[in-house]
Amino acid sequence: MSTQLDQPELLVPLIEEVIHHACTGIAPDVRVLLEAAAKREENDTARSVLLTMLENARLAYEQDKPACQSPGFPCVYVTYGGKTRLPDLREVFGTAMRRCTEAGYLRPSMVHPLTRKNSGDNTGPGVPNFELDFRPELDYADFVVSFKACGAELVNGVKVFTAATLGPNLAGLKKYVLDLVIKGRGIPCPPVGIGIGIGGQIDVAARLSRRAISTREWTYAHPDPEIARLEEELLEAVNALGVGPGGTGGRTTALAVKIMMSYTHTAIAPVAVNFHCWVGRRAGVRIYEDGRVERLFWRGQHDCPHTS
């Protein structure tokens, strides 16, 4: 059966819609956490910053504008099944990105890493980045577009631990995360989401860390209770530090800690810590083999109130 995947004239506008939706607001899960944090926050200045963030997300929706001036670096997470024939992803997403840039929804921000020359239309080698996940049993293909901003990127870290340096009760690992949060101050645009990738070698840990915070719902606990407990413990510890929204103090420093894990070699325990700003811009579509389309991380009426 023919689906959007075989018809670029249908797929490109659909992906444009996804990109537009992603960058003109924050995902529903992030919004829920931000609202809850604003209610809990005791520091007056911090609470007013959190309310400004919520107001900004609402204004972006009402005025149909990018929620943040920086689109960050785009990454597309593709999960696809055994019968899926993927289209030319670079062509489809390249075209959609260029159109959204021309329309003023994405600031042209992609540059040559050394000459710093801006391509002017958010295109360039490796843009967007694609992360592919093949699952033979699926009867659909997911495309989740994530715009993760880059102030957060400045304070990321990777460390190869050992059995000894992980420490008793994982104290070494936990201290490493807290050190990065403290050193990061207001740089990653707190309240942050923290993605932690554990396992493999450093490239695997780094990819898992970005995937964890970009594709997992920030409101859902990890299915493995041990990992879920570690996420919870780290979230509580980070929020005890008092860094606060924007780094100017308060109890709301992180909204979520999300971990992804793979096995590693007996000699090492690589850990990558990946910060995400509060502006959780991601959205996606699921295209079934029978042509049905579902939207992912999509704001409904409830998530876009017309009044403050």
Nearer CB in complex with another protein: 33/49: 49
- In degrees and rounded to multiples of 5, residue 73 shows phi and psi of -105, 125
Nearer CB in complex with another protein: 240/293: 240
Nearer CB in complex with another protein: 13/247: 247
* Distance of closest approach, residue 76 Cβ to another protein, in angstroms: 21
* Secondary structure percentages of the chain, helix, strand, coil, to 5: 40, 25, 35
* Distance of closest approach, residue 59 Cβ to another protein, in angstroms: 4
Partners of 79 in the β-ladder: 133, 142
Interatomic CA distance for residues 30 and 298, integer angstroms: 11
Cα dihedral 308→55→234→71 (10° resolution): 140
* Distance of closest approach, residue 142 Cβ to another protein, in angstroms: 26
Nearer CB in complex with another protein: 127/187: 187
Contact predicate 96/148, CB 8 Å = no
Nearer CB in complex with another protein: 49/144: 49
Cross-sheet strand order for the sheet of 129-134:
129-134, 73-80, 140-148, 281-288, 293-296
- The residues binding another protein (CB under 8 A) are 45, 48-49, 52-53, 55-56, 59-60, 63, 65-70, 104, 106-109, 111, 116-118, 120, 149, 151, 154, 167-171, 174-175, 178-179, 181-182, 185-189, 237, 240-249, 277-279
* Distance of closest approach, residue 303 Cβ to another protein, in angstroms: 16
List own/partner pairs for 8-12 with CB under 8 A and 24 or more apart: 8/87, 8/88, 8/91, 8/92, 11/87, 11/92, 12/92, 12/95, 12/96, 12/99
* Distance of closest approach, residue 163 Cβ to another protein, in angstroms: 16
Nearer CB in complex with another protein: 11/181: 181
Give the residue from 248, 233, 218 showing the smallest Cα distance to 178. 233
Q: Which two tokens stand for residue 43?
A: 């520091």
* Distance of closest approach, residue 266 Cβ to another protein, in angstroms: 24
Interatomic CA distance for residues 187 and 254, integer angstroms: 13
* Distance of closest approach, residue 167 Cβ to another protein, in angstroms: 7
Nearer CB in complex with another protein: 185/292: 185
